[in-house]
Amino acid sequence: MRTPTKRRRTAAVLATAVAAALVLTGCSAGSSASDGKLTAWLWPGALGDSVVSSAKKEFASDKLQVNVIGGDFKQKLVTTFTGKTNVPSITGVKGEDMPYFLQQSSLFTDLKSLVPASYLAQFPKWKLAEATTSDGKLIGIPTDIGPSALFYREDVLAKAGLPSEPAAVAAATSTWDEYFAFGKQLKAKTGASLEVSMGDVFSWSMAQADSGFVSKSGKFTGDSATVKEAWDRAVTAENAGIVANIEDGSPDWASAVNQGKIPTVIGAAWHAGDIKSAAPDTSGKWRVTATPGGPGNAGGSFLTIPAATSDKKAALKVIEALVAPSAQATTYSQVGNFPSSSKALSESALTEGDSFFGGQDTVSVFQKSIESMPTKYTSPYDAQVSAPYLVELTNIQGGKDPDQAWNDAVKAAKSALESAQ
């Protein structure tokens, strides 16, 4: 997962391929845990290993079995639902897949019938909304979220004579225009790029918006002022020469991050793990501050209880243990998934400073991002519809006229929606 759209794109294409299968089989789940066991499906890195181990011990009397499913998790889950056999008692659903499963809500238990509102109050309203159907059914409890921030190299900015302390950088880059002006100074003084690619600028601009590419009624909105503004912003960054135009997470990206050639990057909380992995020798040189233009979210998943689960109360107790504040803090320390529970933010694993970021309390930055996160509807077709824009932005890098690229992107996006619906 690198940008708000890249991993969603593949999921959306798959959604189209398997939707018919679910419809043809009646979209109803079959038997679950018929042998008296509680089974849970997760993907690698969904939760901390010790969190899973503790749950197995705590629910040994329920014969809790946790299956870590590699490969295409969504495809395997859909196949199981379609076959109506061996449906897990509990299953994770990735954030980018939730719009699809909301269309198949009869497969899942309405958790509002099991948990009080006081319990749900610990989770952000905008995140709960992502797992809520149009008629108010809640099918998932959030395990983690992906609030954004600006990651930057304090040493590179200081050497360039630019603001380098978090509060000062935030003040100097509070809007996209100010951020780009900052990037021009950075480029002139160091030769470094401000952002990874045009696609990143576009995707994060859309992550900050309160609308996407398709409305709740299924209407195409990819030619809206919101999308055009995000598009124009990416083109502006390209014309200013302040984006590197390399693939985020690639070997070229890792090299650029290590060498300080990309010292400022907008990313979700989990992006800290990517930076640490790619550039361990830069430990202590990074800082985190507010996202230019406002917060956005990328990532964050859910735990659900299939409708076929016989003992729903027992399954809920397992979920509550897996997303307990202490468990979320442990998961954060082990795999970097940012807690969805506000209660977890007071755990010591999150309040301690991060040595990689110069001892800075980075969690407080993400917490502020959470508090002002926009609530938006995400269509199950959003990723398919957004893909042409990213393709055409890449074409601009190759010399294509931006206006022609925009027209072609809109035309292709409309066609993608028509094919998907």
Residues 6+ apart with CB under 8 A from 42: 52, 66, 67, 68, 69, 91, 92
149 token code pair: 């921030």
> Nearest Cα to 40, choosing from 69, 11, 61?
69
Structure tokens at 234: 């990416």
Task: Show me where the domains of the chain are located.
Answer: 6-145+299-346, 148-297+378-420
Q: In the predicted model, what is the mean pLDDT of the chain?
A: 90
Q: How confident is the model at residue 15 (pLDDT cuts 50, 70, 90)?
A: very low
The answer to whether domain 148-297+378-420 has CATH 3.40.190.10 is yes
Q: Are 63 and 311 in contact (CB under 8 A)?
A: no
Q: Which pLDDT belongs to residue 392?
A: 98
Average pLDDT value for residue range 9-23: 36
Q: Select the more confidently predicted residue: 343 or 336.
A: 343
Our measurement of the distance from residue 321's CA atom to the centroid of its chain's CA atoms, rounded to an integer in Å, reads 23
- Model confidence band, residue 11 (pLDDT cutoffs 50, 70, 90): very low
Higher pLDDT, 383 or 393: 393
Where residue 32 falls among pLDDT bands split at 50, 70, 90?
Answer: low
Q: Using H for helix, E for strand and C for coil, what is the string for 176-190?
A: HHHHHHHHHHHHHHH
Q: Which residues contact 275 (CB under 8 A, 6 or more apart)?
A: 151, 257, 265, 267, 282, 286, 356
CATH of domain 6-145+299-346: 3.40.190.10
Give bridge partners of residue 360 from the DSSP assignment: 354
Is the distance from CB of 10 to CB of 207 less than 8 angstroms? Answer: no
**Binning pLDDT at 50, 70 and 90, where does residue 383 land?**
confident
Distances (CA, A) of 69 to 59, 190, 204, 299, 337: 20, 45, 30, 19, 18
DSSP letters spanning 212-230:
-SB-TTS-B-TTSHHHHHH
> What burial class does residue 239 get, using C-beta atoms within 10 Å of its C-beta: 0-12 exposed, 13-18 middle, 19+ buried?
exposed
pLDDT of 404 > 90? The answer is yes
326 phi and psi angles, rounded to 5 deg:
-65, -35
Confidence (pLDDT) at 385: 96
Give the model confidence (pLDDT) of 250-259 as tens digits.
999 999 999 9
Q: What is the per-residue burial (b if ≥16 Cβ within 10 Å, else e) of 383-394? A: bbbbbbbbebbe
